[in-house]
């Protein structure tokens, strides 16, 4: 369903994203932000799935400045490379790149209506980094373990945000989530979903932490939330 599109200034191919257009040919825009494994088969499948629901989905290549279009698996070798790229990532530069991706999606010929952002893991943190972007109307973050470090960048959210957290997440413990909830709520319209007994990455079918029940419940809430704020 998807294809790679260039987003670099002047039409260069360095900064690109995986673009999926729904069967109808038009729809609300959704920026879908990757985990640390790149815009891999799982993220492309997520983009395809949300496009099948009617969204125009763009999954930007966050690691393009290090290596274009990395596509890693969830085995030991993939984990090692994923963390190598993550540790080398300039988060502020990545946020600027994502702002450009929002602009691209805003001007996309297939987009009709509002724009939203959805991110997983690293993407969950980066999705929240866009919470003050005036072009967006809804945001969804799955287990964004770095959200606390982004609070000073976002004194006020410009649109409603839905946060999914896993009860047994080794990267962001419930004590941290409990601390963050009132701080996030103080910046805007924040909704929280906690999945007791679930681990980080419960949404990814290719990971050992996958939970079909939690993933389906989270997606149902996500679709309801996006329908409320993006679909007219």
Least confident stretch, 11-15, 94-98, 192-196, 212-216 = 11-15
Residues in the chain: 232
- List of long-range contacts for 156-160, beta carbons under 8 Å, 24+ apart: 156/132, 156/187, 156/188, 157/131, 157/132, 157/187, 157/188, 157/189, 157/190, 158/131, 158/132, 158/133, 158/134, 158/188, 159/131, 159/188, 159/189, 159/229, 160/188, 160/189, 160/190, 160/191, 160/225, 160/229
- The domains located in the chain, with CATH, are 2-230 (3.40.50.1820)
Most distant CA pair in the chain: distance in Å? 48
pLDDT tens track for 122-146? 999 999 999 999 999 999 999 999 9
Task: Taking residues 81-95, report their average pLDDT.
Answer: 95
CA distance 207 to 60: 22
Contact 140, 222 (CB under 8 A): yes
- Residue 148: pLDDT band by 50, 70, 90 thresholds? very high
1-46 confidence digits (pLDDT tens): 799 999 976 545 589 999 999 999 999 999 999 999 999 999 999 9
What is the C-alpha to C-alpha distance for residues 42 and 34, in angstroms, rounded to an integer? 9
* pTM of the model as a whole: 0.96
What is d(CA 221, CA 58) in angstroms, rounded to the nearest whole number?
A: 21
pLDDT at 13: 58
Query: What is the Cβ-side half-sphere exposure of residue 179, based on CA atoms within 13 angstroms?
Result: 10
């Amino acid at each position: 369903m998807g294809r790679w599109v260039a987003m670099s200034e002047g039409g260069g191919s360095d900064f690109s994203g995986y673009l999926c257009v729904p069967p109808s040919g038009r729809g609300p825009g959704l920026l879908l932000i990757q985990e640390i494994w790149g815009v891999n088969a799982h993220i492309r499948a997520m983009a395809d799935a949300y496009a099948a629901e009617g969204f125009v989905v763009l999954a930007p290549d966050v690691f393009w400045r290090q290596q274009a279009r990395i596509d890693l698996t969830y085995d030991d070798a993939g984990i090692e490379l994923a963390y190598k790229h993550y540790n080398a990532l300039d988060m502020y530069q990545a946020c600027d790149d994502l702002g450009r991706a929002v602009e691209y999606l805003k001007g996309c010929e297939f987009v009709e209506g509002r724009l939203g952002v959805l991110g997983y893991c690293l993407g969950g943190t980066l999705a929240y980094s866009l919470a003050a972007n005036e072009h967006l109307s809804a945001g969804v973050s799955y287990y964004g373990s770095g959200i606390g470090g982004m609070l000073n960048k976002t004194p006020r959210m410009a649109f409603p945000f839905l946060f999914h957290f896993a009860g047994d997440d080794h990267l962001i413990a419930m004590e941290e989530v409990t601390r963050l909830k009132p701080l996030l709520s103080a910046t805007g319209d924040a909704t929280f979903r906690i999945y007791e007994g679930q681990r980080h990455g419960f949404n990814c079918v290719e990971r050992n932490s996958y939970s079909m029940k939690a993933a389906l419940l989270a997606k149902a809430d996500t679709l309801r939330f996006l329908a409320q704020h993006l679909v007219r």
